[in-house]
Amino acid sequence: MTSPRPASASQALAPAERAVQLLGGDLSEVALRQHLEGLPTVDAVGLEARAASFGTRSIKTTSKAAALDTVIRMIDLTTLQGSDTRGKVRSLVAKALVPDASDPSTPRPAAVCVYGDMVGNAVEALGSAWSAGKDDGINVAAVATAFPSGRASIGVKLQDTRDAVAAGADEIDMVIDRGAFLEGNYGKVFDEIVQTKDACRRDDGTYAHLKVILETGELVTYDNVRRASWLSILAGGDFIKTSTGKVQPAATLPVTTLMLQVVRDWERLTGERIGVKPAGGISTSKDAIKYLVAVAETCGEAWLDPHLFRFGASSLLNDVLLQRQKLTTGRYSGPDYVTID
């Protein structure tokens, strides 16, 4: 069934630099639609077979040790519950600062991810370890734009973003309007991403990095995931992210592989690298390593970097720490050997 066309199909869209370069200066809903609906259809069988093959690779002990450390460096250690307290955020930060008290060589995760009103608490708890927008240290990521539903006015969404950035958020994880996307109102989704990117601007002219959450479990088809990924990149997203973690299915290997293919194709087309973040449902080292294989074999080893690939997770870190301890001691430790997230 063809998606209904919005009444404003001919209106001009916000002049996002990437979209202007790719689609031309006459940037309209029609031009955007023609591009997105002209993308090749996804071969679902081939995609799922390719994703399944990533779990068949044999990982040697030395490679596994390096892979586990890489996973830790790519984690956005997350708490996104309505019951979150300042104490819980401080505990999360303490875990990020010292993931394994028994092994000081354990790397730290890339970021802690919290609700916007908890950003200041996270920044304070990190102290000198906070990255403060630089390349070293631990970043503070904040969900915004009426996470997880995205059901709010654009004014509320933008103020949500500005407040988090003003409080010190290094990264903003926004949600797209899935209802608008599924209605075929691509221009509305596009413009909201562009405006959210603008709201990420700091007083000194730099920008918090923008991760665009597609909520792939609600997009229904692989073709929609591909279109939403391209749309998010064209509108200015620095990362494309699978899920909020509040909807099932959340991250899956086939969907993440498809999104990796999109950023690979974007890099081949423009020379620019965009990040990917699967989030929700990745809780074991075994699964995480499959994602690393997918990254390396789809985009290349350059993407095995926290600037280009992240895991959104809460329980994954503990499993990785237990596996890491097992490689060191030769014995499996129980859950009492790691702190509770």
pLDDT at position 341 over 70: no
Tell me what pLDDT residue 9 has: 52
Handedness of CA 67, 260, 217, 110 (dihedral sign): positive
Q: Which residue among 157, 197, 277, 290 is the active-site one?
A: 277
Out of 19-33, 38-52, 264-278, 289-303, which region has the weakest mean confidence (pLDDT)?
19-33
Counting every residue, how long is the chain? 341
- What does the pLDDT read at residue 2? 41
Active site residue 241: yes
The residue that leads in pLDDT, 224 or 12, is 224
- The pLDDT of residue 1 is 39
pTM value is: 0.93
Considering the candidates 188, 197, 211, 241, report the single residue annotated as catalytic.
Answer: 241
Q: Return the percentage of the chain with pLDDT > 70, whole number.
A: 94
Q: Annotated catalytic, 277?
A: yes
Q: Which of 76, 160, 170, 173 is catalytic?
A: 173
The per-residue pLDDT for range 54-78, each reduced to its tens digit, is: 999 988 888 999 999 999 999 999 9
Question: Residue 7: its pLDDT value, please?
Answer: 42
Residue 55 neighbours by CB distance under 10 Å? 13
Contact 281, 275 (CB under 8 A): no
pLDDT at 62 (0 to 100):
81
As a whole number, mean pLDDT of residues 206-211 equals 97
Q: Residue 42: what residue type?
A: V
Any catalytic annotation for residue 160? no
CATH superfamily of 37-337: Aldolase class I (3.20.20.70)
Edge-first strand listing for the sheet containing 311-313: 275-277, 239-241, 209-213, 171-175, 139-144, 111-115, 75-78, 311-313
Mean residue pLDDT across the chain: 93
